[in-house]
Each structure stands twice: as C-alpha cells, then as structure tokens.
C-alpha cells in the first residue's frame, strides 16, 4: 500500500459522520496508512479546517508517532503523552487531543495530514501547529492527506 491515509469512517472528500463531531461523541475517527517513505523515523498528524471564519482552525496535533505505526484507533485519548511515545499538541480550543468538526455555518473541509519525518522531534507535549511545522521544516520525507467534509444539521 502506498503512503496514503484513509478512514473506515468516511471516504476521501466524503462526509464525516456526526459521531466524530461536536454534535456527536466528538471522538477521533480510526485512521490507517501504508508504509512511509524509506528513512522515516517518526510520523506526525495535523487535522485542520481552512474554511473557518477566523482563519484555519486546528482540530488535532499529534507527533512522534513510532515509524512502525500504521493506524490509529477510534477515540484516541487526549493524554499529553500516549503509551506508544507519541505526543499531543494543542488544538485551536487550547486543549490537547482531537476536537471534532463544529462549523458555525455551511459545509467545511477537514484535512487530516500525515507527515513522514526523518527524525524524532524533541518537542514537549502541548506545542501548537505552528511550532510543530517549524520543528518539521527540512525533515519531511513524505505527506499523505485525507479530506472529509462536515456541516451541522
């Protein structure tokens, strides 16, 4: 399998089920991916919404995922440090972990971006998306992307 990110919960460019939004259980969807590029040492995941009225809204920041990881289960706990050594950054609600789609109006796009990195990042838990992107600069070997949409009823 190529380095692609998928979810059993929704297809690429498909609708994200209510369960994974602020209108439902607000838990993260299960995600899976193929082998990252050769030389990958860790993985990082960012989920954001570029359609938010205040600018891009960050829903999830997770980094230092072990290179052998090929999936995330549904409902990843919002712990600062996870059992596998990965760490959560801060979302736009200033919380750790996943925060589901919750658009004020209209249909928004949610991008789950998985990065293959040639290093483990020496970052403490709780960093922002901007801090993560800065730390990843020059270390990205590959990127996979899954986009889902959501609108409130």
User: What pLDDT is recorded for position 17?
Assistant: 98
Over 117-143, what HEC string results? ECCCCCCCCCCCHHHHHHHHCCCEEEE
Average of per-residue pLDDT across 7-25: 98
pLDDT band at 1 (very low <50, low <70, confident <90, very high): low
Structural domains in the chain plus CATH codes: 5-151 (3.90.280.10)
From the list 87, 129, 109, 82, the residue with the least C-alpha distance to 16 is 109
User: What pLDDT is recorded for position 153?
Assistant: 78
Average of per-residue pLDDT across 72-85: 97
pLDDT band at 145 (very low <50, low <70, confident <90, very high): very high
Residue 87 has pLDDT above 90, yes or no: yes
CB-based burial, 28-50: b 16+ in 10 Å, e otherwise? bbbbbbeebeeebbbbbbbbbbe
Q: How far apart are CA 47 and CA 65, in angstroms?
A: 15
- Mind listing the pLDDT tens digit for each residue in 109-139? 999 999 999 999 999 999 999 999 999 999 9
């Amino acid at each position: 399998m190529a380095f692609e990110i998928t979810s059993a919960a929704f297809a690429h460019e498909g609708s994200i089920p209510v369960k994974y939004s602020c209108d439902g259980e607000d838990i993260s969807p299960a995600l899976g991916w193929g082998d990252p590029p050769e030389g990958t040492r860790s993985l990082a995941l960012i989920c954001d919404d570029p359609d938010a009225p205040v600018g891009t809204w960050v829903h999830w920041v997770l980094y230092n995922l072990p290179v052998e990881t090929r999936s995330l289960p549904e409902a990843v706990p919002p712990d600062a440090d996870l059992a596998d050594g990965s760490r959560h950054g801060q979302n736009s609600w200033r919380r750790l972990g996943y925060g589901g789609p919750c658009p004020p109006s209209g249909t928004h796009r949610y991008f789950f971006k998985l990065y293959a990195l040639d290093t483990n990042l020496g970052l403490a838990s709780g960093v922002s998306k901007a801090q993560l992107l800065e730390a990843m600069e020059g270390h990205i070997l590959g990127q996979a992307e899954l986009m889902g949409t959501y609108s409130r009823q």
